[in-house]
Amino acid sequence: MGIRKIMTVKEPCLHKVCRPVEKFDKKLHKLLDDMKETLVDANGVGLAAPQVGILRRVVVVDTGEEILELVNPELLETSGEQVGSEGCLSVPGKYGIVKRPNYAKVRAYDRDGNEFEVEGEELMARCFCHELDHLDGIVYTEIMERYLTDEELNEEA
Ligand code: ZN
């Protein structure tokens, strides 16, 4: 187990398309364990492997009840729309206004290679879309409408 260093948006690894996981082996399990520990330590909602410098399609998401492990996730379905503030562990201290679907259904594999589907609304849909974007090298700052102003930040705090 170990907490990994979270890369910031300046690092090239945040801007590359990640490769699918092919082997569901001990190395993957260690990566998932470390990512979960790193997410909890950083108080985040989601973390994608490229944020810790690994260019593989792996994501962890804290649903509030458990930490989901999504390997090779794919968006199956989205609907609706939400416009709201969004942050990223790789963009510390900032928040932006981002338009996302209000509902998202994702197909993924667990750490042993078993396929499953998961769906979410509102924050979870936003989080799935945000994390899956990371796997294609997209950071929310590239698709946001604008950053929140200091005044708006103070209101949220
Ligand atoms: Zn992020």
Give the pTM: 0.96
Query: Under the phi-then-psi rule, with left for phi > 0, alpha for psi from -120 to 50, and beta for the rest, what region is 113?
Result: left
| Spatial contact of 39 and 134, defined as CB atoms under 8 Å apart | no
Say which residues have a Cβ less than 8 Å from residue 114's Cβ, sequence separation at least 6: none
> What count of other Cβ atoms lies within 10 Å of the Cβ of residue 133?
19
Question: Has 131 been annotated as catalytic?
Answer: yes
Kindly give the distance from the C-alpha atom of residue 94 to the centroid of ligand 1, in angstroms, as a whole number. Answer: 11
Check 65, 69, 115, 131 and give the catalytic one. 131
- The residues that bridge with 99 in the sheet, in sequence order, are 83
Compute the distance from residue 29 Cα to the ligand 1 centre, in Å.
Answer: 21
Q: Mind listing the pLDDT tens digit of every residue in the chain (157 residues)?
A: 599 999 999 999 999 999 999 999 999 999 999 999 999 999 999 999 999 999 999 999 999 999 999 999 999 999 999 999 999 999 999 999 999 999 999 999 999 999 999 999 999 999 999 999 999 999 999 999 999 998 988 886 6
